[in-house]
Amino acid sequence: MSAHDDILDRLWVARPKVYTAICKDMAGEWELRIEYVQVTPQADREVEHQMAIQKAKESCAGAWERVVEYAPCMSTPDTSTIACIGLFEGAIEPAMLDEAYFDCSA
């Protein structure tokens, strides 16, 4: 068995990895949203992080009812105006979060 096959085998049986993401609506309609997402662990952590960010943005788009319809009764999440401003490993439970202190205008 090659090292490549061993990595693939470990990824196949790996438990999903949980991330907590903070997303911002750059269109200004909504403020912030915290999403918990699960992704399959990847050998490349940057790829894994990008997967988590994309899932979080899609989840926020669904919650904010942002979709692009490409056929009658068929749509896909519209993430074009959603930014992920924070990504944390694990399911983080905020004890307090005051949105007034977030400066997301940059």
The full set of domains in the chain, from first to last, is: 15-94 (3.10.20)
Query: What does the longest C-alpha to C-alpha distance in the chain come to?
Result: 55
Place of tokens 């309609």: 29
Residue-level pLDDT at 106: 40
The 10s digit of each residue's pLDDT in 11-21 is 666 789 999 99
Q: Do 48 and 27 touch, CB atoms closer than 8 A?
A: no
17 three-state secondary structure: strand
The 10s digit of each residue's pLDDT in 28-81 is 887 888 899 999 999 899 999 999 999 999 999 998 888 888 877 888 888 999
